[in-house]
Amino acid sequence: MRSKVSFSAAGVRCTGYLQLPADSGPRPCVVLCHGFSGTMDRLFDYAERFAKAGFAALVFDYRSFGESAGEPRQVPDIRGQLTDIRAAVTFARAHERIDADRVLLWGNSLGGAHAVVAAADDPRIAAVVAQIPFNGFPRQVEGRKAWETAALLGAILWDRMRGMAGMRPYYIPMVGRPGELAVTATPEADHHIRTLTGDGETLWRNSIAPRALLTMMRYRPAESAARLRCPLLVCAAADDHETPVATSRALADAAPHGELRVYPGTHFSFYTDPAFRDTVVADQIGFYRRAMAGA
């Protein structure tokens, strides 16, 4: 039972889909938050799995992405995205089929960081799952040469200046091959793109305004994790070079009630391997149930 919904976030119209379980009565609700350049359609499978387990599940696009409003397009705005998440939680709590005291946050990549930060400011959140969460950039990106880093930094600063001047964003690809100007430039570029596009039509676009990377350099979700009152589960992959296990462990360790689970695989296993997701989501469902029972 998936229905299209919308809600206002500080005057910006956000679009999402609410998946409800078949049984009646107020249900706990998982609000799912996508990553840096992602779109909500990449999270439909997760939402369906939660709904089959008896949870309501709300996915949505951040402002300027996918089906949501907001101009200019494809501009990640950390402050705006946190506002969107809070509005999504408010929408969920007001729904007649949702138990307002059992709203749970779930985030992937940058969305994992956002879920932690949003929950730290909302003591009513029952529990948080942060999957391959952003927790600061690694000191050195594997395989990226110094001149490639300099070129990306130049693009970030140029886009930032254009934004301050009210000009159109300076867009670059999110994913590219080594030597190309892109946020992520790796030999696995084609594979990375397939994880974001799937097999059919998608809302995702391989284009991004890189100015947000400057803000992310100062983004410290671990500081918010230290203020969390609810349980936190951090899910990481042993061979993840995008969001390394070390930074995920630091996020879990910072939370008063944090735990870390590390799975064999890579960053992309969470996107591409259904059997892998079977294990991960089963663990996440068990964690949510224990957290609600404890509360």
- Domain holding 91: CATH number? 3.40.50.1820
Q: Which residues pair with 103 in a beta bridge?
A: 29
The closest of 98, 104, 92, 126 to 21, measured between CA atoms, is 98
Q: Is residue 249 part of a domain?
A: yes
Q: What is the mean pLDDT of the chain?
A: 92
Q: Would you say residue 213 has pLDDT above 80?
A: yes
Instruction: Give ∠ CA 72-76-82 in degrees, rounded to 5.
Output: 115
* Residue appearing with tokens 């998440």: 85
Q: Is residue 255 part of a domain?
A: yes
Query: Would you state the pLDDT for residue 200?
Result: 61
Query: Would you state the pLDDT for residue 240?
Result: 86
Q: Exposed, middle or buried by CB within 10 Å (0-12, 13-18, 19+), for 252?
A: buried
Q: Taking the chain, what is the end-to-end CA distance rounded to the nearest angstrom?
A: 28
Q: Is residue 185 part of a domain?
A: no
Which pLDDT band holds residue 139 (cuts at 50, 70, 90)? low
Q: Is residue 177 part of a domain?
A: no
Condensed to tens digits (0 to 9), the pLDDT of residues 61-106 reads 999 999 999 999 999 999 999 999 999 999 999 999 999 999 999 9
Domain tally, the chain: 1
Q: Would you say residue 187 has pLDDT above 80?
A: no
Question: Comparing 105-119, 153-167, 266-280, which segment has the lowest mean pLDDT?
Answer: 266-280
Q: Is residue 106 part of a domain?
A: yes
Q: Is residue 285 part of a domain?
A: yes
Domain carrying residue 7? 2-139+219-294
| Model pTM score | 0.94
Condensed to tens digits (0 to 9), the pLDDT of residues 11-38 reads 999 999 999 998 878 999 999 999 999 9
Segment 131-139 shows an average pLDDT of 87
